[in-house]
Structure 1
Amino acid sequence: MVNSLWFKWKKLRLPWRKSFLVGQDLKGNTFWEFNDVMNAARMRRIVRFDPKTHYSDVQVTPQWHQWLRHVREHPPSIQEQQQDLVRQAQMKELARLADERWASKPSYLDKPKTEPLPQTTDAQIAPEQQASPSPEATKSEPASAEKKENPWNNASTANPGEEWQPEAWSPSSKR
C-alpha cells in the first residue's frame, strides 16, 4: 500500500520535479524519465534496479528495452507484461513438444542398427558341411581373382597436359 502511494506520487509530473517515474516491471525494476541536458527536444530514459543486484543479473524485458531506446512511445502496461509471460510459457511448451518429436525421428547421422548374427560352433554345424572343399572349388577361386584387373594398372603415370607448352607470342600488324 505504501509502495503504491509512493509510486503514484513519483509519477506526478510536477514542474519542480527533475525526474519522473514512468513505470515498473514485474521484476521490481523502475523506469524513469528526465530532461536531457544535451538535447532538450527529448527526454532521457533510464532503468533503476535494486542496488544489491549485480549488473549482470539485471534483466530488462524487450518491451521496456524498446521504450528505453525510444522505439516505442508509451511504456508497456502490467497487463502487457503478464501476457508476454504467458506467451513465453506457451512457446517453451511448444518448443519442448517439437524437441520430443524431433528426437523421436531417426537421424541420418546415426549408424544403422544391425542385428548381430547368431554365433554357431563347430559342433552345431552338420557333418556334411564340415567336409573340406573340393579341389575344383579351390582352383576356381584364383581364376576369378585373375579375371579382375586393377583399372589403375592401365592408367598413364603422366598428367594429361604434362607435355603442353605455350606458344611464343608474336605481335601482328593487323589494324
Structure 2
Amino acid sequence: MGMFRGTYLQWMKLRLPWRKDVYMGTDLDGNLYFERLVDTYRSRRHVIYRKDLALSEYSDKVIPIQWQAWMRHTRHRIPTLDDLNQDIQRQEQIADNVQKLAAKEARLPISPEDTTKHAHTRQPQFQKSTPGESFQPENWAPAATSSASGNKTGSTKKRHNP
C-alpha cells in the first residue's frame, strides 16, 4: 500500500492542464496540502484532513505551524518532513528545559529575608487613601494693607486717563 500511495502522490504533483488542485505535500499526521492555481495574483491553498474531525474539533493546533505559514502565504518554501521533525524535537527540548527549571526552583530554599522583603507588595489594599484625608489647614490672618495703615505723605496719586 505504501508504494501505491507514493506513486499516487507523485502523480498528483504533476501540473496537468485539466487538474485544478496540485498536491504540494503532507505533514506528519497524514494531512494533504494542495494549491489551486488561478489566474489571480495569488494561488489558493487548502488542506484535506486525514482524520474526519467534527466541526467543533477543528483548530489551529491540528495543522503544524509551518504548514499554516505556507497556507497563509507567509512562508514561500514548502515545509519538509525534516522541518516538522526538527520542530517536534525543539518542542520536546523546551518541555524538558521547563521541567528541569521547575525542579530546580522547587529545590531552592525560601529564606525569611525574601518573604519579609516584599511583604508589603503582597498585602492587599482595602482602602484608597486620598490627599484630602491628611490635610490640616493652618490659621489664616489677613495681611495689613496700605490703605489701612494710612498715607503718611498725604499726597494722592491721580491716574491720567487720556
Residues 1-175 of structure 1 aligned to structure 2 (within 5 Å): 1-36=3-38, 40-50=40-50, 52-55=52-55, 56=57, 59-107=62-110, 108=114, 159-161=135-137
Q: TM-score, normalised by structure 1?
A: 0.58
For each residue in 1:97-155, what CA deviation from the matched residue of structure 2 results, as whole angstroms up to 9, or x when unmatched?
A: 01111222245569xxxxxxxxxxxxxxxxxxxxxxxxxxxxxxxxxxxxxxxxxxxxx
* Unaligned segments of structure 1, at least 5 residues: 111-157, 165-175
For 1:12 and 1:103, the matched residues in 2 are separated by 57
C-alpha spacing 1:78/1:51, structure 2 compared with 1 (3 Å): closer
* TM superposition score normalised by structure 2: 0.62
SS in 1 for 2:22: strand
Amino acid across the alignment from 1:31 = Y
1:161 is displaced (CA, Å) by 2.6
Query: Counterparts of 2:40 and 2:97 in 1: how far apart (Å)?
Result: 47
Shift of 1:13: 1.1
User: Which consecutive unaligned segments of at least 5 residues does structure 2 have?
Assistant: 117-133, 141-162
Could you say if the C-alpha distance between residues 5 and 86 of structure 1 is closer, same or farther in structure 2, counting changes exceeding 3 Å?
A: same
CA RMSD of aligned residues (A): 2.4
Paired residue type of 1:95: V
Partner Cα separation in structure 2 for residue 47 and residue 163 of structure 1? 82
Q: How many percent identity over aligned positions?
A: 31
- Whether the aligned pair in 1 keeps the contact of 2:32 and 2:50 (CA below 8 Å) is no
> What is the count of residue pairs matched by the alignment?
115
Cα distance change, pair 162–27 in 1 and its aligned pair in 2 (3 A):
farther
